[in-house]
């Protein structure tokens, strides 16, 4: 059973002069379990940069273990929206840690409340204008392959993100307002899909929430109009969206030569259903 009261003594000895002592301390911390990161939070004043660098690989391994063991939890939630939000929240916790003060649910709630306050009868198009023009959520162009671009907290704080992360924010804020926004699993460029009266309207969250017309769709894809329309009309469920996020993370970690996390997200993708 992990003993939190012993942690201050273990932390003090992390940079001990003796290799044997350091090895024993690392062994003890490695065997502490997944609560290590939360329990260490009470003793942050004991850490310097050297001690943080020593303990970081253990915390990273714990986060990978935690995410893998709990990954299927979101798949049993009752709605597509709750599944999507929980999966994205788990990715935030993996990247930022369990003690990060910002919570994705609170940030999304705040956006929904702000929109509702000023747009009593606002629709999906109005919400796109609010998020991508008024709140200035833009597509990330300078740091596209940063793995944090799949982290909704990072995206909302920086106001930059990938097509899919910006679209997910749009979907989840809309749901809080009783509006319906869906994802469109367009090849190479994830889009948002809304209905205006009986017409399907595609919105490009990455490019200031602009509405995509038929001619622009042809430029985005070499497929026939019939093939494009088939993609547009297909239901993009939460599992499809999450799988695409995982593929982005695999690519992003590969771009920065982080083979450990790249391999980990490949494993995670393999246990994620369609």
The strand pair at 138-139 and 210-212 is best described as unpaired
pLDDT per residue over 1-12, tens digit each? 578 999 999 999
Quick one: CA torsion of 248, 254, 256, 262, rounded to 10 degrees? 80
pLDDT at residue 274, rounded to an integer: 87
- Among 38-42, 206-210, 212-216, 252-256, the least confident range: 212-216
pLDDT per residue over 112-132, tens digit each? 999 999 998 999 999 999 999
pLDDT per residue over 248-265, tens digit each? 999 999 999 999 999 999
- Overall pTM surpassing 0.75 (yes/no): yes
Calpha distance 104→23 (Å, rounded): 37
pLDDT per residue over 236-250, tens digit each? 999 999 999 999 999
pLDDT per residue over 167-195, tens digit each? 999 999 999 999 999 999 988 889 999 99
CB-CB neighbours of 153 under 10 Å: 22
Percent of the chain topping pLDDT 70: 96
Give the relative orientation of helices 80-96 and 49-70 as an angle to the nearest 10 degrees. Answer: 160
pLDDT per residue over 24-45, tens digit each? 999 999 999 989 999 999 999 9
């Amino acid at each position: 059973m992990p003993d939190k009261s012993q942690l201050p003594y273990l932390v003090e000895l992390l940079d001990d002069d003796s290799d044997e002592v350091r090895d024993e301390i690392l062994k003890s911390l490695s065997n502490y379990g997944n609560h290590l990161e939360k329990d260490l939070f009470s003793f942050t004043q004991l850490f310097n940069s050297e001690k943080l660098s020593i303990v970081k690989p253990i915390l990273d391994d714990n986060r990978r273990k935690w995410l893998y063991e709990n990954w299927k939890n979101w798949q049993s939630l009752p709605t597509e929206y709750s599944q999507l939000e929980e999966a994205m929240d788990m990715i935030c916790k993996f990247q930022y840690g369990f003690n990060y003060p910002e919570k994705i649910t609170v940030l999304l709630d705040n956006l929904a409340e702000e929109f509702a306050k000023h747009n009593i009868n606002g629709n999906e198009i109005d919400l796109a204008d609010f998020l991508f023009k008024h709140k200035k959520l833009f597509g990330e162009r300078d740091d596209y392959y940063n793995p944090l671009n799949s982290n909704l907290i990072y995206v909302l704080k920086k106001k930059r993100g990938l097509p899919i992360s910006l679209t997910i924010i749009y979907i989840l804020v809309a749901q809080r307002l009783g509006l319906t926004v869906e994802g469109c699993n367009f090849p190479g460029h994830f889009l948002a899909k809304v209905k205006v009266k009986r017409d399907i309207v595609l919105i490009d969250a990455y490019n200031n929430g602009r509405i995509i017309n038929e001619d622009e769709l042809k430029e985005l894809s070499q497929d026939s109009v019939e093939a494009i329309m088939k993609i547009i009309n297909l239901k993009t469920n939460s599992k499809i969206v999450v799988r695409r996020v995982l593929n982005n993370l695999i690519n992003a970690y590969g771009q920065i030569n982080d083979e450990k996390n790249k391999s980990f997200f490949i494993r995670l993708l393999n246990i994620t259903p369609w």
